[in-house]
Amino acid sequence: MALAVMLLNGASFHGGCCRPKVLLSSLGPLLNNSKLYSSYRRPGTEPEKKLYWQNVDFSFKKAIDHLKTQLSLLKKETQDYLQGPGGHPLSQHLLEQTRVLWQFRSQEDLNKWVISSDVEIGGKSKVYIKLGRNNQAAVLYGTLNTEVPRDGETQYSGYCSMRSRPAVGSFNRKKYYDWSNFNSLYLRVRGDGRPWMVNIYTDPYFSHQKDDLYTYFMFTRGGPYWEEIQIPFSKFFLSSRGRVQDNQHPVWLDKASIRTLGFTIGDKVDGPFQLEIDFIGLLNDRAHKEKFAYEAYDKNTPV
């Protein structure tokens, strides 16, 4: 309890209006049934009536264990920072041509991802994830159903997705991916011939940009053979809530932007689907010179 009081007092420098959010982020592992990852609420459902502090388990032992874990993470982050970018020497960082971000070899690798479907809005699609044969890949499978829920508000349905969990540092600080040394996303997948959308989620500067994401299409050819897909970052276009935006600009690949990566299927075709992913990586293709594939213009051009 003393630690909780200390955290309450320590959050005051963020301002009174932000105090609940700071406390929740600090006591992340102590929350029961936390819904911090998604704030969506179905139309017609009542909002949560519990106060934020009623979901906190004030356990002194858990608080001490959590503090030890966070201090060890902080120590490792400091050592990596002193060694060089990403924990590698500067010479190795500058000459790096490829990097594997995620590969799926154990249940721990699967736990770094979150699956979701239109069940959140009352739909009937189903999605699951498991390890493939010999624990060599992630298998994302399920059934797509485009039947619209009868709630009087929802107009479209029929999607399933897989999204990486946001990276966090010590004391639940936000961490971002620095992909500035690379110009392409590189994947080894095996699909069933259905198209997918690859989504890059960035951290918005303003609250009204929270639904913005960068998207490009991944077409699988089906069959028993694996395929290696390279998607240049210059091909990703900006969209918001499923609508392509007029004002386009390239993905910001620096370390203050990218939060998560995701895959979505929503081709309006009812039936089963399956996608196997061996690994997801980055590539610096020296032959690719394109900066941005789409027209960028100034809407306020002076006359």
Task: Let me know if 191 is exposed, middle or buried by CB neighbors in 10 A (0-12, 13-18, 19+).
Answer: buried
Judge whether 175 lies within some domain. yes
Q: Which of 69, 95, 121 is the last residue of a domain?
A: 95
Classify each residue of 233-244 as buried b or exposed e, where b means 16 or more C-beta atoms within 10 Å of its C-beta: bbbbbbbeeeee
Judge whether 35 lies within some domain. no
Angle between the N-to-C axes of helices 2-10 and 19-26, in degrees from 0 to 180, rounded to the nearest 10: 130
Spatial CA neighbour of 192 closest among 276, 259, 282, 118: 276
| C-alpha–C-alpha distance, residues 230 and 183, integer Å | 10
Asked whether 166 and 200 are in contact (CB, 8 A), the reply is: no
Q: Please indicate, yes or no, whether residues 193 and 105 belong to a single structural domain of this protein.
A: yes
Judge whether 81 lies within some domain. yes
How many helices and strands in the chain, by DSSP H and E? 5, 13
Q: Which of 95, 124, 152 is the last residue of a domain?
A: 95
- The predicted pLDDT at position 230 comes to 96
Q: Please indicate, yes or no, whether residues 205 and 274 belong to a single structural domain of this protein.
A: yes
Q: Please indicate, yes or no, whether residues 105 and 233 belong to a single structural domain of this protein.
A: yes
- The predicted pLDDT at position 49 comes to 72
Pairing label, strands 227-232, 195-202: unpaired
Q: Which of 66, 95, 124 is the last residue of a domain?
A: 95
- The predicted pLDDT at position 39 comes to 58
Contacts of 89 (CB under 8 A, 6+ apart): 83
Q: Please indicate, yes or no, whether residues 188 and 74 belong to a single structural domain of this protein.
A: no
Q: Please indicate, yes or no, whether residues 77 and 125 belong to a single structural domain of this protein.
A: no
- The predicted pLDDT at position 277 comes to 96
Q: Please indicate, yes or no, whether residues 154 and 197 belong to a single structural domain of this protein.
A: yes
Q: The domain that contains 171 carries what CATH number? A: 2.60.120.430
Which region holds residue 135: left if phi is over 0, alpha if psi is between -120 and 50, else beta? left
Spatial CA neighbour of 108 closest among 165, 176, 189: 165
- The predicted pLDDT at position 210 comes to 81
Judge whether 192 lies within some domain. yes
Handedness of CA 134, 137, 138, 141 (dihedral sign): negative
User: What residues does 186 pair with on adjacent strands?
Assistant: 230, 281
- The predicted pLDDT at position 16 comes to 41
User: What residues does 200 pair with on adjacent strands?
Assistant: 214, 261
Q: Please indicate, yes or no, whether residues 208 and 264 belong to a single structural domain of this protein.
A: yes
| C-alpha–C-alpha distance, residues 260 and 153, integer Å | 29
- The predicted pLDDT at position 267 comes to 92
Q: Please indicate, yes or no, whether residues 215 and 133 belong to a single structural domain of this protein.
A: yes
pLDDT in tens, the chain (303 residues): 443 434 334 333 343 444 444 444 444 444 444 344 445 566 666 777 777 666 676 778 888 888 888 888 888 888 887 877 777 777 777 778 899 999 999 999 999 999 999 998 889 999 999 999 988 999 999 999 999 988 888 888 999 999 999 988 888 888 888 888 899 999 999 999 999 999 999 887 777 778 889 999 999 998 899 999 999 999 999 998 888 988 888 888 776 678 899 999 999 999 999 999 999 999 999 999 999 999 877 666 666
Contacts of 92 (CB under 8 A, 6+ apart): 84
- The predicted pLDDT at position 288 comes to 92
* Tally of domains in the chain: 2
Domain that holds residue 87: 57-95
Q: Please indicate, yes or no, whether residues 102 and 69 belong to a single structural domain of this protein.
A: no
Judge whether 154 lies within some domain. yes
- The predicted pLDDT at position 176 comes to 85
Q: Please indicate, yes or no, whether residues 276 and 147 belong to a single structural domain of this protein.
A: yes
| C-alpha–C-alpha distance, residues 193 and 219, integer Å | 7
Judge whether 47 lies within some domain. no
- The predicted pLDDT at position 252 comes to 83
Q: Please indicate, yes or no, whether residues 126 and 264 belong to a single structural domain of this protein.
A: yes
Handedness of CA 101, 102, 105, 106 (dihedral sign): positive
Lookup result for tokens 């969990």: 165
Other Cβ atoms less than 10 A from the Cβ of 218: the count is 19
| C-alpha–C-alpha distance, residues 114 and 160, integer Å | 11
Q: Please indicate, yes or no, whether residues 79 and 216 belong to a single structural domain of this protein.
A: no
Judge whether 151 lies within some domain. yes
Judge whether 220 lies within some domain. yes
